[in-house]
Amino acid sequence: MKHSFEWLLGWRYTRASRGATKNRFISFISALSMVGIVLGVAALIIVLSVMNGFQHEVRERMLSVIPHVQVYPAPDTPEGWEVPLAQSIEKNKEVVGIAPYMSSQSIVLQDGEMVGVKVEGIDPTQEGKVSEVPKKIIQGSLADLKEGEFNIVLGVELARRLGLEVEKDKFALGEPVTLLAPEANITVAGAMPRMRPFNVVGIIKAGHFEIDNSYAYVNVNDAKKLFHEGNMGLRVKIKDMDQAKAVGRWIEDNASQPVLTQDWTSINPTWFSAVKTEKTMMTIILLIIAIVAGFNLVSMLVMTVNEKQADIAILRTQGASRRSIMQIFMIQGALIGGLGTLIGVVLGVLAAWNIGSIVHGLELLFHFEALPQGQYFISRMPSEVRLGEVVSIAVMSFALSLLATIYPSRKAAAVEPAKALRYE
């Protein structure tokens, strides 16, 4: 078979460099380069899978209380727009729920404390169609947000900041808090702040710090009475959240009236941008491990070439071409890189799949808590292995290994038989 002797010698040199006693240092460098490739590949898979898991957990918690798509009517739209607009949106087969809302920034006052909040005016009878807010109530009931009674549901961390916690995860319901609107009333005496007391009737725990720390929910009609300005429109839930942009464009093109839409990726763009940047930087940092392993592979192959100069000279005198000599050492490097990549992928995927159990075992062994309940809303390390990322990491690692073989292979091909055999 063509090139069979190149494969034979490449495999023989690989085995020899790993196990021969003639040159233990080369064997050590060979093992070190393979271990470096294994660690680089495994570390990339594990870290990216954990970051995917955290991203998935936080995204799911955020999307449990924020809509997939928000629809805003055009300015100066006459009253009564909600029903015809909702009917036109329902024609899209991706839509599974629609509910009205009004949101505004505000300040909540309680016993001298002033805390900035985002007030979400919702319809408690319809909110369950577009979010999991009713399921996230840990005390009280969303049904108590009755029109005209001016009741309010606070995020759990916000309630703690206002001093409403009477014991762990138990809060004093019925306590009044005052909401201060951003706009003022103009009277003969001048501008007067708009404020109104609301009774706390519920506590929500979404599992996302920003929401639990700064969100408050009131009846949508109560919100309209307090806030003269604010974002008012419809919340829309769809079957596939990844289709939010496409559904938003469809609504803008097919709505019964001029509207603007905003999908979930743009509702909190800073957070999603930060996560993407962190993931990119972690990938670059961990990629350095694989690059260092590639340098080790170069060093090992160069030393192997120096050791095998007599073998190379004999092969050249027997008729082996320079190209065949190059292939022998490229095959050796490819075998080491391929084996290291394969082992790294297997170990990385297995570790990523079982990262929760591994971290739990380390917690028991070293008596520490990786995710303290007081600081995080999850107790187990999340992980999400993505096939596309695993394949990309494997291809990248193997490509680096092949790249590392070019210089040593060219050096081997340049060996002159007469010079190499002069002192043999």
Question: What are the tens digits of pLDDT across the range 204-238?
Answer: 988 777 888 889 999 999 998 888 777 888 999 99
> What is the per-residue burial (b if ≥16 Cβ within 10 Å, else e) of 378-411?
eeebbbbbeeebbeebbebbbebbeebbeebbeb
Res. 57: pLDDT tops 90: no
Please tell me which residue, 4 or 88, carries the higher pLDDT value. 88
- Helix or strand or coil: residue 342? helix
Report which DSSP code applies to 115. E
Say yes or no to pLDDT of 373 above 60. Answer: no
Measured CA to CA, the distance from residue 368 to residue 370 in angstroms comes to 6
Q: How many CB atoms lie within 10 A of CB 196?
A: 13
Core vs surface per residue 71-94: b (16+ CB within 10 A) or e:
bebeeebeeebbeebbeebeebeb
Element (H, E) at 31: helix 24-63
Cα gap 168→173, rounded to integer Å: 14
239-259 pLDDT per residue, tens: 988 888 999 999 989 888 888
* Statement: residue 100 has pLDDT above 80: yes
Quickly count: other Cβ atoms within 10 Å of residue 138's Cβ: 12
Instruction: Summarize the confidence of residues 176-186 as an average pLDDT.
Output: 79
DSSP-assigned beta bridge partners for residue 204: 137, 155
Q: Using the predicted structure, report yes or no on whether residue 56 has a pLDDT greater than 90.
A: no
> Given a cut of 60, is residue 374 above it in pLDDT?
no
Q: How confident is the model at residue 18 (pLDDT cuts 50, 70, 90)?
A: very low
Residue 1: pLDDT band (50, 70, 90) is very low
Mean pLDDT of 310-336: 82
pLDDT of residue 424: 55
- The mean pLDDT value for 111-117 works out to 84
Query: Which of 159-163, 164-168, 245-249, 342-346 is predicted with the least confidence, judged by mean pLDDT?
Result: 164-168
Per-residue pLDDT, 383? 86
Q: What is the C-alpha to C-alpha distance for residues 199 and 75, in angstroms, rounded to an integer?
A: 32
Report d(CA 52, CA 265) in Å as an integer: 16
pLDDT of residue 83: 86
Read off the pTM.
0.72
Mean pLDDT rounded to a whole number for the chain: 83
Q: What is the pLDDT of residue 36?
A: 86
Q: How confident is the model at residue 21 (pLDDT cuts 50, 70, 90)?
A: very low
Is residue 99 a contact partner of residue 89, using CB atoms and an 8 Å limit?
Answer: no
- Distance in angstroms (rounded) separating the CA atoms of residues 148 and 224: 11
The helix/strand count (H/E) of the chain reads as 15, 12
pLDDT higher than 90, residue 343: yes
Q: How confident is the model at residue 346 (pLDDT cuts 50, 70, 90)?
A: very high
DSSP 283-328: HHHHHHHHHHHHHHHHHHHHHHHHHTHHHHHHHHHTT--HHHHHHH
Phi, psi of 155 (to 5 degrees): -65, 150
